[in-house]
Homo-oligomer: A and B are copies of this chain.
């Protein structure tokens, strides 16, 4: 993953993981009701560094480990939220959180509604998307579409350090349950960091780059691929607008449609599977809301229709990258595509977020 390009100005520069830790510490300093719990939260690795030092600063009462009981612990967090706290619950992988969806979907998402507004469930559930270094079929799933499908939940997917912190703060302040989807590969990406008021509210997308020929709206790491693609397209004289959706629920339909009405072409790119995924949802929104503006059929870039393979030889062809975005746009515009576009530069290893990465987890 390339670091955020625009690291300029007076602000600090942090990694994604550091930004999440800072955001958590800020939230805990402002509000004594905030606690953070999860497998390994206070351990020496501190959830990829995102919780390091928190127990030292806030004590074992507010920062603690849990038994390997995802289902009960989620219900316990719901109970804490109902009774005056604002828990942040962490999962090292989305895949592990599957044990707790009954509590998330039947309980956390619905208590506010089904008890007629008598109770609220302010809690944040962090889930990390694994990828690379042989994470394989059960340590790499991206299932944010599931949570986006459920009324009563909010779902955020920050990309840049600043947004990781802003969206974490906004999620903790939110009175409803928020699913906070992190991508392991974004933990190491460095970027500008400001400790002020969050810029955009939860639910708003960010136009990262303005363009006039095509709109590319993306989630999570696909935002970085989209930016890279836009750069390459620009070199060929194609002006792409890149939107970081930031939130999968609620979706910022307004920003999306305004952009497509301007460009007339649309590509959605997501880190999840295709069928009933976020890319399809965006395409559907655009088709329903900007039909007359569309000059060509929209496209969706998603994972191929298989579980994640472990072998690096297969994961290399499994994950879509910037060339896939470039190809989609060029085809849409009726332009030729370089047959070598997918070839991998010498020395680049596609199963690693950066050259220094050596697993094992």
Enumerate chain A interface residues (CB-CB to B < 8 A).
71, 95, 98-99, 101-102, 105-106, 109-110, 113-114, 136-138, 141, 143, 145-146, 148-152, 248-249, 251, 272-273, 275-281, 283-289, 291-292, 294, 296-300, 305-307, 309-310
Contacts and interface: CB of A to CB of B under 8 A. Distances in A.
A35 B110 CA distance: 35
Given A98-B102, A292-B297, A297-B287, A151 B307 contact: yes
Contacts of A306: 113, 151-152
Nearest to A113: B307
Contacts of A289: 297
A297 B288 contact: yes
A178 B279 CA distance: 25
Copies assembled = 2
A308 to B, nearest CB: 9
B149 A273 contact: yes
Nearest to A306: B151
Nearest to A292: B297
Contacts of A114: 136-138, 307, 309-310
25 contacts: A71-B99, A98-B106, A99-B102, A106-B138, A110-B137, A114-B137, A114-B307, A143-B149, A145-B276, A146-B146, A148-B275, A149-B276, A151-B273, A151-B305, A152-B306, A276-B277, A280-B281, A280-B284, A283-B283, A283-B284, A287-B294, A287-B297, A288-B298, A288-B299, A291-B298
B276 A288 contact: no
Contacts of A251: 275
